[in-house]
Amino acid sequence: MDLRARLEAFRAADLYTVITEAFCAGRPGLEVLDACLDAGVRLVQFREKDWSDRALFEGAKAFRARTAAAGALLIVDDRVDIALAVGADGVHLGQEDLPARVAREMAPDLLIGVSTHSLEEARDAADQGAGYINIGPLFATRTKEVPTGALGLDAIRRIRSEVPLPTTCMGGIKLEHIPEIMAAGAERIAVVTAVTAAPDPRAAAADLRQAILAARS
Protein backbone atom coordinates (compact mmCIF):
# COMPACT_ATOMS: atom_id res chain seq x y z
CA MET A 1 0.00 0.00 0.00
CA ASP A 2 1.17 3.52 -0.63
CA LEU A 3 0.76 6.31 1.89
CA ARG A 4 -2.54 7.50 0.43
CA ALA A 5 -4.11 4.05 0.81
CA ARG A 6 -2.72 3.73 4.31
CA LEU A 7 -4.18 7.09 5.33
CA GLU A 8 -7.52 6.08 3.91
CA ALA A 9 -7.48 2.82 5.85
CA PHE A 10 -6.50 4.73 8.98
CA ARG A 11 -9.42 7.13 8.56
CA ALA A 12 -11.78 4.17 8.21
CA ALA A 13 -10.64 2.60 11.49
CA ASP A 14 -12.59 2.93 14.70
CA LEU A 15 -10.59 1.14 17.40
CA TYR A 16 -6.78 1.15 17.55
CA THR A 17 -5.45 -1.67 19.73
CA VAL A 18 -1.91 -1.34 21.02
CA ILE A 19 -0.46 -4.71 21.99
CA THR A 20 2.36 -5.14 24.49
CA GLU A 21 2.85 -8.71 25.64
CA ALA A 22 3.61 -7.68 29.23
CA PHE A 23 0.07 -6.25 29.43
CA CYS A 24 -1.61 -9.34 27.99
CA ALA A 25 -2.28 -11.00 31.36
CA GLY A 26 0.16 -13.83 30.68
CA ARG A 27 -1.14 -14.62 27.19
CA PRO A 28 1.02 -14.41 24.09
CA GLY A 29 0.68 -11.12 22.25
CA LEU A 30 -0.23 -13.03 19.08
CA GLU A 31 -3.20 -14.62 20.81
CA VAL A 32 -4.51 -11.18 21.75
CA LEU A 33 -3.80 -9.95 18.22
CA ASP A 34 -5.88 -12.79 16.79
CA ALA A 35 -8.72 -11.92 19.16
CA CYS A 36 -8.59 -8.28 18.02
CA LEU A 37 -8.60 -9.19 14.34
CA ASP A 38 -11.44 -11.59 14.94
CA ALA A 39 -13.40 -8.75 16.55
CA GLY A 40 -12.96 -6.66 13.42
CA VAL A 41 -10.13 -4.42 14.60
CA ARG A 42 -8.29 -3.08 11.54
CA LEU A 43 -5.65 -0.89 13.18
CA VAL A 44 -3.04 -2.48 15.43
CA GLN A 45 0.18 -1.30 17.01
CA PHE A 46 3.05 -3.61 17.93
CA ARG A 47 4.67 -2.02 20.98
CA GLU A 48 7.49 -3.71 22.83
CA LYS A 49 10.09 -1.69 24.68
CA ASP A 50 12.56 -4.12 26.24
CA TRP A 51 12.99 -6.77 23.57
CA SER A 52 16.20 -7.33 21.62
CA ASP A 53 16.15 -6.02 18.08
CA ARG A 54 16.07 -9.57 16.78
CA ALA A 55 13.03 -10.35 18.91
CA LEU A 56 11.36 -7.12 17.76
CA PHE A 57 11.98 -8.09 14.16
CA GLU A 58 10.60 -11.60 14.59
CA GLY A 59 7.64 -10.38 16.65
CA ALA A 60 6.74 -7.61 14.23
CA LYS A 61 7.07 -10.03 11.32
CA ALA A 62 4.53 -12.37 12.92
CA PHE A 63 2.20 -9.41 13.54
CA ARG A 64 2.63 -8.36 9.92
CA ALA A 65 1.68 -11.77 8.55
CA ARG A 66 -1.52 -11.89 10.57
CA THR A 67 -2.56 -8.25 10.06
CA ALA A 68 -1.91 -8.51 6.33
CA ALA A 69 -4.06 -11.63 6.10
CA ALA A 70 -6.86 -9.79 7.90
CA GLY A 71 -6.49 -6.59 5.89
CA ALA A 72 -5.55 -4.62 9.00
CA LEU A 73 -3.01 -1.82 9.30
CA LEU A 74 0.09 -2.57 11.35
CA ILE A 75 1.93 0.26 13.06
CA VAL A 76 5.25 -0.45 14.80
CA ASP A 77 6.10 1.56 17.90
CA ASP A 78 9.24 3.74 17.83
CA ARG A 79 11.34 1.88 15.28
CA VAL A 80 11.46 2.98 11.67
CA ASP A 81 13.96 0.24 10.84
CA ILE A 82 11.79 -2.54 12.25
CA ALA A 83 8.74 -1.11 10.48
CA LEU A 84 10.58 -1.07 7.16
CA ALA A 85 12.11 -4.49 7.75
CA VAL A 86 8.75 -6.21 8.18
CA GLY A 87 6.79 -4.11 5.70
CA ALA A 88 4.57 -2.51 8.34
CA ASP A 89 2.18 0.27 7.34
CA GLY A 90 3.51 2.80 9.76
CA VAL A 91 5.54 3.78 12.76
CA HIS A 92 4.41 5.51 15.93
CA LEU A 93 6.82 8.03 17.43
CA GLY A 94 6.93 9.57 20.88
CA GLN A 95 8.46 12.91 21.72
CA GLU A 96 11.72 11.17 22.68
CA ASP A 97 11.91 9.15 19.47
CA LEU A 98 13.18 10.10 16.04
CA PRO A 99 11.64 13.37 14.85
CA ALA A 100 8.71 12.74 12.50
CA ARG A 101 10.39 14.83 9.80
CA VAL A 102 13.44 12.57 9.84
CA ALA A 103 11.31 9.41 9.78
CA ARG A 104 9.34 10.77 6.88
CA GLU A 105 12.45 11.48 4.84
CA MET A 106 13.72 7.97 5.50
CA ALA A 107 10.44 6.23 4.81
CA PRO A 108 8.13 8.36 2.67
CA ASP A 109 5.49 5.62 2.32
CA LEU A 110 5.11 4.92 6.04
CA LEU A 111 2.19 6.34 7.93
CA ILE A 112 3.81 8.27 10.75
CA GLY A 113 1.95 8.73 13.99
CA VAL A 114 3.10 11.00 16.79
CA SER A 115 2.14 10.99 20.47
CA THR A 116 1.14 14.52 21.38
CA HIS A 117 0.36 15.84 24.84
CA SER A 118 -0.48 19.46 24.05
CA LEU A 119 -1.67 21.72 21.25
CA GLU A 120 1.91 22.82 20.69
CA GLU A 121 3.14 19.26 20.18
CA ALA A 122 0.20 18.51 17.90
CA ARG A 123 1.00 21.54 15.72
CA ASP A 124 4.65 20.56 15.62
CA ALA A 125 3.76 17.02 14.50
CA ALA A 126 1.66 18.46 11.67
CA ASP A 127 4.52 20.77 10.65
CA GLN A 128 6.84 17.77 10.50
CA GLY A 129 4.55 15.86 8.18
CA ALA A 130 2.99 13.35 10.55
CA GLY A 131 0.16 11.26 9.13
CA TYR A 132 -1.83 11.15 12.33
CA ILE A 133 -1.53 12.25 15.93
CA ASN A 134 -2.47 10.62 19.15
CA ILE A 135 -3.97 12.92 21.74
CA GLY A 136 -3.40 11.81 25.27
CA PRO A 137 -3.33 10.71 27.89
CA LEU A 138 -6.96 11.67 28.41
CA PHE A 139 -7.02 9.98 31.80
CA ALA A 140 -4.45 8.49 34.16
CA THR A 141 -2.97 5.29 32.75
CA ARG A 142 -0.68 2.58 34.02
CA THR A 143 0.98 1.76 30.68
CA LYS A 144 2.85 5.03 30.27
CA GLU A 145 4.18 7.76 32.49
CA VAL A 146 3.67 11.17 30.97
CA PRO A 147 5.14 14.16 32.79
CA THR A 148 2.38 16.47 31.53
CA GLY A 149 -0.34 14.48 33.32
CA ALA A 150 -3.81 13.71 32.05
CA LEU A 151 -5.14 16.11 29.41
CA GLY A 152 -8.86 15.86 29.99
CA LEU A 153 -11.59 15.87 27.39
CA ASP A 154 -11.45 19.57 26.48
CA ALA A 155 -8.12 19.01 24.77
CA ILE A 156 -9.70 16.92 22.03
CA ARG A 157 -11.76 19.65 20.40
CA ARG A 158 -9.10 22.30 21.03
CA ILE A 159 -6.46 20.28 19.21
CA ARG A 160 -8.75 19.02 16.48
CA SER A 161 -9.96 22.54 15.67
CA GLU A 162 -6.39 23.72 15.09
CA VAL A 163 -4.57 20.70 13.68
CA PRO A 164 -5.75 19.18 10.38
CA LEU A 165 -4.65 15.58 11.00
CA PRO A 166 -6.60 12.43 11.75
CA THR A 167 -6.43 11.62 15.43
CA THR A 168 -6.64 8.91 17.99
CA CYS A 169 -7.41 9.52 21.63
CA MET A 170 -5.73 7.42 24.28
CA GLY A 171 -4.89 7.02 27.92
CA GLY A 172 -6.81 5.17 30.57
CA ILE A 173 -9.89 4.78 28.38
CA LYS A 174 -12.48 2.19 29.43
CA LEU A 175 -15.68 1.10 27.75
CA GLU A 176 -17.87 3.35 29.90
CA HIS A 177 -15.88 6.44 28.81
CA ILE A 178 -16.51 6.03 25.10
CA PRO A 179 -19.75 8.07 24.84
CA GLU A 180 -18.31 11.13 26.58
CA ILE A 181 -15.00 10.94 24.68
CA MET A 182 -16.75 10.67 21.33
CA ALA A 183 -19.10 13.48 22.34
CA ALA A 184 -16.04 15.57 23.15
CA GLY A 185 -14.92 15.28 19.52
CA ALA A 186 -12.85 12.11 19.31
CA GLU A 187 -12.69 10.33 15.96
CA ARG A 188 -11.30 7.00 17.09
CA ILE A 189 -9.97 5.43 20.26
CA ALA A 190 -6.69 3.77 21.09
CA VAL A 191 -6.39 1.36 24.00
CA VAL A 192 -3.89 -1.00 25.52
CA THR A 193 -5.11 -2.80 28.63
CA ALA A 194 -8.84 -2.26 28.03
CA VAL A 195 -8.38 -4.98 25.42
CA THR A 196 -5.10 -6.77 26.14
CA ALA A 197 -5.71 -7.32 29.85
CA ALA A 198 -9.43 -8.06 29.52
CA PRO A 199 -10.66 -11.52 30.50
CA ASP A 200 -11.95 -11.88 26.93
CA PRO A 201 -9.99 -9.58 24.58
CA ARG A 202 -12.21 -10.44 21.62
CA ALA A 203 -15.36 -9.43 23.49
CA ALA A 204 -13.67 -6.33 24.91
CA ALA A 205 -12.56 -5.19 21.45
CA ALA A 206 -15.99 -5.91 19.98
CA ASP A 207 -17.71 -3.95 22.76
CA LEU A 208 -15.38 -0.97 22.34
CA ARG A 209 -15.89 -0.96 18.59
CA GLN A 210 -19.63 -1.12 19.00
CA ALA A 211 -19.59 1.79 21.46
CA ILE A 212 -17.47 3.89 19.08
CA LEU A 213 -19.68 3.13 16.11
CA ALA A 214 -22.83 3.81 18.14
CA ALA A 215 -21.45 7.18 19.25
CA ARG A 216 -20.57 8.10 15.66
CA SER A 217 -23.98 7.39 14.22
> How many angstroms separate the CA atoms of 81 and 154, rounded?
36
**Which residues make beta-bridge pairs with 133?**
114, 167
Q: How far is the CB of 161 from a copy of itself (least distance, A)?
A: 28
- Least distance in angstroms from the C-beta of 127 to a copy of itself: 17
Asked whether position 96 contacts a copy of itself by CB under 8 A, the answer is yes
Q: Is residue 120 a contact residue for a copy of itself (CB under 8 A)?
A: no
Give yes or no for a contact between 8 and 89, defined as CB atoms under 8 angstroms apart: no
- Label residue 95 exposed, middle or buried (CB < 10 Å: 0-12, 13-18, 19+): middle
Binding region for a copy of itself (CB under 8 A) out of 23-31, 90-98, 119-127, 198-206? 90-98
Name the one range near a copy of itself by CB under 8 A: 6-14, 82-90, 124-132, 185-193: 82-90
- Which distant-in-sequence residues (6+ apart) come within 8 Å of 212 by Cβ? 14, 15, 178, 182, 188, 189
Host H or E run for residue 10:
helix 3-12
Q: Is 121 in the site for a copy of itself (CB under 8 A)?
A: no
Identity of the residue, 104 or 188, whose beta carbon is nearer to a copy of itself in the bound complex = 104
User: Could you say whether residue 102 binds a copy of itself (CB under 8 A)?
Assistant: yes
Which residue stretch of 36-44, 54-62, 125-133, 209-217 sits at the interface with a copy of itself (rule: CB under 8 A)? Answer: 54-62
- Considering the rule CB under 8 A, would residue 145 count as an interface residue with a copy of itself? no
Pick one of 40, 65, 97, 213: the residue that binds a copy of itself (CB under 8 A): 97
Give the span between the Cα atoms of 166 and 171, in whole angstroms.
17
Q: Which helix (H) or strand (E) holds 77?
A: strand 73-77
Residues in contact with a copy of itself by CB under 8 A are 52-55, 57, 78-82, 84-85, 95-99, 102-103, 105-106
